[in-house]
């Protein structure tokens, strides 16, 4: 989609992780990104794809979308109604703390 230049040589990377990231993601050079930045950002927002920005063929930046925050119901909805209180939760716990 973004990477029309297939001249990237993965053997130049020193870390396996960089090679894996480069192979799994779309890549674009800084100069190509600058020319079409707004269009590319809109595409990333719409698709959720990750984009790696390169400088002289080496990955230097990763552009990703923010994950939407889940609501409390989404996070804890499965637990709703399953919490059991063995005593009044509003009862003071002064017996547990020394007097000062």
Rounded Cα gap, residues 57 and 39, in angstroms: 22
CATH T-level fold of 10-63: YefM-like fold (3.40.1620)
pTM over 0.75: no
Question: pLDDT tens for residues 7-32?
Answer: 444 444 444 444 444 444 689 999 99
Angle ∠(53,58,61) on CA atoms, nearest 5: 30
Name the band, by pLDDT with cuts 50, 70 and 90, for residue 100: low
Structure confidence at residue 19 (pLDDT):
44
Among all chains, which residue has been given the structure tokens 């989404």? 74
Which CA distances in Å does 65 have to 23, 74, 92, 94?
Answer: 19, 20, 45, 48
């Amino acid at each position: 989609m973004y990477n029309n230049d297939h001249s990237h040589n993965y053997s130049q990377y020193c870390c396996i992780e960089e090679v894996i990231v480069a192979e799994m993601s779309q890549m674009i050079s800084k100069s190509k990104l600058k020319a079409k930045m707004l269009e590319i950002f809109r595409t990333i927002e719409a698709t959720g794809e990750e984009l790696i920005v390169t400088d002289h063929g080496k990955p230097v930046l990763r552009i990703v979308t923010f994950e939407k925050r889940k609501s409390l119901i989404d996070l804890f909805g499965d637990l709703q109604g399953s919490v059991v209180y063995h005593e009044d939760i509003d009862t003071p716990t002064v017996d547990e703390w020394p007097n000062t």
